[in-house]
Every structure is written in structure tokens, then in C-alpha cells.
A and B are shown apart, each in its own frame.
Chain A
Amino acid sequence: MTEWPLYEVFVRGKRGLNHVHVGSLHASDDQMAIRNARDVYTRRNEGVSIWVVRSDAITASSPDEKDPLFAPSGDKVYRHPTFYEIPDNVPHM
């Protein structure tokens, strides 16, 4: 028989924080995925909110570091505040 689909689980640890990926689990549908996620990943109040999404619905970037995907930001040092020289006597900057 076919296996239950795989879901990725994201938990918001507390208000004010992003949901963070915590792992995966199998469930027959979305509702069961939420319930299973509660039992597997939040047995000790680790979360206030859970997202689940089927793993096959996720599109990922290529893992290769030399991938050109991230190359465009490599040479744009002017996007960082330290690129700019401000005299020491200028306050609050």
C-alpha cells in the first residue's frame, strides 16, 4: 500500500518569533499532520502555532554553493552600512 505523504513542520516558539522548521512527519491529510505535529514536536510547550506543508509542495534552491543564485549579492558591499565612512564626531549614526 502507499505510504502516507510526508509533511514539513514549522513551529512558532512564541509570539514575536518566526515559524521555524523543526522536522517532518507522515500524515494522511493536512488536519492529521497538524495533530501529529502537536504530539511529535510540541510536547513541552515548544510552540504557540504550527504550520504544516506537504514536502512535495516545496521548491528549493540548488544546494551547490557555487550556484549563481546567490552570486548577484556577492559584490554589492555598498548594501552594508560598514561600506560608508562617517567621521567619528558625527553622533547617532
Chain B
Amino acid sequence: MPGKTVPEEAAPGKTVPEEAVPGKTVPGKTVPEETTVPEETQAAAPGDLQEHFEATIARGARIEPRDWMPDAYRATLVRQIAQHAHSEIIGMQPEGNWITRAPSLRRKAILLAKVQDEAGHGLYLYSACETLGASREELTSLLLAGRQKYSSIFNYPALSYADVGTIGWLVDGAAICNQVPLCRTSYGPYGRAMIRICKEESFHQRQGYELLMTMMRGTGEQRAMVQESVNRFWWPSLMMFGPPDADSPNSARSMAWGIKRNGNDELRQRFVDMTVPQAEALGVTLPDPGLRWNAERESYDFGEPDWSEFTAVLRGEGPCNAQRLAHRRRAHADGAWVREAALAFAGKTALATAGADHD
């Protein structure tokens, strides 16, 4: 959705002054709700705090960063948002690999913008996660140590340029299915980050589908490339919704807290129902012999993903797990001198400014 110019969380009644002159102090400054000011340390939960928290959730209002919240709610959010952020950052790799080999300048510009968006999405989410008291450094080191996860879909390789299209169509399509309900999640900063992300994901999905349409209008070889790519990505895309609800022990609690709004199976079904007609319009076959319309349910029946593959990839045995983390570790290490130099420069400039003030 291009051309959106108004930040979505325009908060009524905020009194941030219109024109702050740089260098002048601004009187009457009030504070936005999601600023990352340090949390007050919380003692054990007195009953009325817990009650107040539950009442806020029950009436569908949002929890904001400095509200009291149960430790488990905070920990669940940190885990989920961090995993989500890591997925965006790791998710730059399969497609980033193709930027230098894009078939045209147009496709290259599009892919660059898309991969840059993924970085942006990661940053929105890290920002939301930091409002919970987790530091960026801590989150990064947990990812690099393999102690926090990212979506297993990014452990599959992008083997051809058709994969750029398929990732946009199926992987980003599945992500949209997952993410749209999260715009109403109970934690304010997470929901606001998701709104921003969902607007941009729509571009990702459409550019992917358009790319595939273009290839389907091409040679027989190009059509075969698209079909082969769809064959590889279909089942992993279905796995993006997580294990069946029955095997997803934390789901119920996350739903009760309003962090999640829908079950894994419901979202997976929604994705299949949305995607089948898109596949027909594209002229590709989804690689599932069990896929057929069920008039009674008014939904498509479909086969069971291979959950043993899912757990194997989660365990680190996917085709690219090692490569993805090694790449991220290397990038982080290679950037260390930049981070240090920038800090040193900032320190020197601050010193010089302070000195000039005394003259």
C-alpha cells in the first residue's frame, strides 16, 4: 500500500510540542507510551496488579511497556517477538543472495527494496522487544549462540530466480496470514510494529506473484522452473504456521493472553484456501494429491505436512541452518570495527563540543 503518509499510531491528546527548536529544552514534554525508558523493577505481583492486567486484557485494551505484567507474559513476548525479529534478519539471506544476479535492473531494484524492508521489519520488531527490557545486544548474542530461534523456512535454500518469486508469493503470503491477526495482539508495541510490517508485506507478495506470472508467460523451461520452485516451497510454507494445535502446548496460554488471536490450524487452512485459486490463476500445480474442495466445509482439504522434517529443521538439520548462522555471525563480527569506530567518533565529537563551550 504505497503513499501512506500518516504514522498509524497518531495518539490523540498527546502534547508533544509542535516545534522543538534543536538545542533548546522543550517545556511540557509528555512521553509516548512505548518509549524504551527503563522499567521500574517490579516486586512480586500484588493481587490488584494482576487483576488490573487481566481486566485490561479482558476488555480488549492494549498492555503498554511500563504497565505491570506477569513475568511469564513478558517472557513469552520477548521470545516470540525476538524470534520474529531474527526471522526477518535471517530472512534477508536466501533472497539477498540473488541481488547481484537479478535478470534486469527493474528486478534488481525491486529485490533490493524488498530485502531492505526485511531489515526494516527486523528493526521494528527489535524495537518492540526492547520495550520489554531486553537489550539489542542480548537478543543478537542469543541468536548468534543459537539460543533463540528464527522461522525454519529460512533454512531452505533459494536455488533459482524463480525462488525469489515463490518466496514472495508463498512465504510472504503465509507470513501475512500469520501477521494480520497479530496487528490486534494485546501488547501495544508489537501490534503497532505488525501494522507497519503488514502494509509492506503486501508489496512483497505482489512482486513475487508478478515475477512468477512473468515467468509463466515465458518459455517452457521457465514454466518448469516455476513449478519446480513451487514444489519445493509448498510444504515448508504450510509448516510456517507451526505444529498442529494439539502439539502446540503454549498456544492456549498465548490465546488467553491475547498475544495470539488464532490457532495454527485455522491460519494454515485460511492460507490454503487463499492460495489455491492463486495457483490456478498462475497455472501451477500445488504438490499435494490430497488437495480438493470440500463443499461441506466450504474449504479445501489438504494433506499433512511431514512434521518429522519440521522438527528436524528446528533441531538444526535443515539444508541451510549452519550456513545461515555462520553468515550472520560473520556479518556481526565484520561489523564490529564500524560499531566501535562510530562510538569513538561520537565520543571525540562530544568532547570537542564540550571544549568549545568552555572557550
Using a CB–CB distance below 8 Å, which chain A residues touch chain B? Answer: 1-4, 6, 8, 10-11, 13-14, 17-26, 28-29, 32, 39-40, 43-47, 51, 55-56, 58-65
Q: List 9 A-B contacts (CB under 8 A).
A: A4-B342, A19-B16, A24-B35, A24-B127, A43-B116, A44-B4, A46-B6, A58-B31, A60-B31
Of A3, A10, A13, A43, the contact of B117 (CB 8 Å cutoff)? A43
**Contact residues in B for A24 (Cβ distance below 8 Å):** 35-36, 127, 130-131
Q: How far is the CA of A40 from the CA of B120 in the complex (A)?
A: 5
- Shortest CB distance A88–B (Å): 29
Q: How far is the CA of A47 from the CA of B9 in the complex (A)?
A: 13
Task: Verify A22–B340 contact, CB threshold 8 A.
Answer: no
Q: Which of B1-57 contact A (CB under 8 A)?
A: 2-7, 9-11, 14, 16, 18, 20, 29-38, 40, 52
With A24-B130, A45-B5 in contact, do A3 and B32 touch (Cβ < 8 Å)? Answer: no
Of A20, A23, A26, A55, the contact of B11 (CB 8 Å cutoff)? A20
Task: Verify A64–B68 contact, CB threshold 8 A.
Answer: yes
**Contact residues in B for A43 (Cβ distance below 8 Å):** 113, 116-117, 120
Most buried by A among B32, B135, B346: B32
Q: How far is the CA of A17 from the CA of B200 in the complex (A)?
A: 23
Q: Does B137 contact A (CB under 8 A)?
A: yes
Q: How far is the CA of A73 from the CA of B193 in the complex (A)?
A: 32
Q: How far is the CA of A14 from the CA of B37 in the complex (A)?
A: 27
Using a CB–CB distance below 8 Å, which chain B residues touch chain A? Answer: 2-7, 9-11, 14, 16, 18, 20, 29-38, 40, 52, 64-68, 113, 116-117, 120, 123-124, 127-128, 130-131, 135-137, 189, 192-193, 200, 336, 339-340, 342-343, 345-346, 349-350
**Contact residues in B for A11 (Cβ distance below 8 Å):** 7
**Contact residues in A for B342 (Cβ distance below 8 Å):** 4, 28-29, 32
- Shortest CB distance B18–A (Å): 7
Q: How far is the CA of A14 from the CA of B7 in the complex (A)?
A: 9
**Contact residues in B for A6 (Cβ distance below 8 Å):** 36, 130, 136
With A46-B4, A46-B5, A58-B31 in contact, do A25 and B123 touch (Cβ < 8 Å)? Answer: yes
Most buried by A among B4, B18, B135, B343: B343
Task: Verify B36–A8 contact, CB threshold 8 A.
Answer: yes
With A20-B11, A58-B31, A63-B66 in contact, do A29 and B37 touch (Cβ < 8 Å)? Answer: no
Q: How far is the CA of A1 from the CA of B136 in the complex (A)?
A: 13
**Contact residues in B for A46 (Cβ distance below 8 Å):** 4-7
With A10-B16, A51-B20, A64-B68 in contact, do A21 and B35 touch (Cβ < 8 Å)? Answer: yes
**Contact residues in A for B66 (Cβ distance below 8 Å):** 60, 62-63
- Shortest CB distance A41–B (Å): 8
With A1-B339, A11-B7, A17-B10 in contact, do A23 and B34 touch (Cβ < 8 Å)? Answer: yes
Residue of A nearest to B123 (CB): A40
Task: Verify B193–A55 contact, CB threshold 8 A.
Answer: no
Q: How far is the CA of A22 from the CA of B9 in the complex (A)?
A: 7
Most buried by A among B31, B38, B68: B31
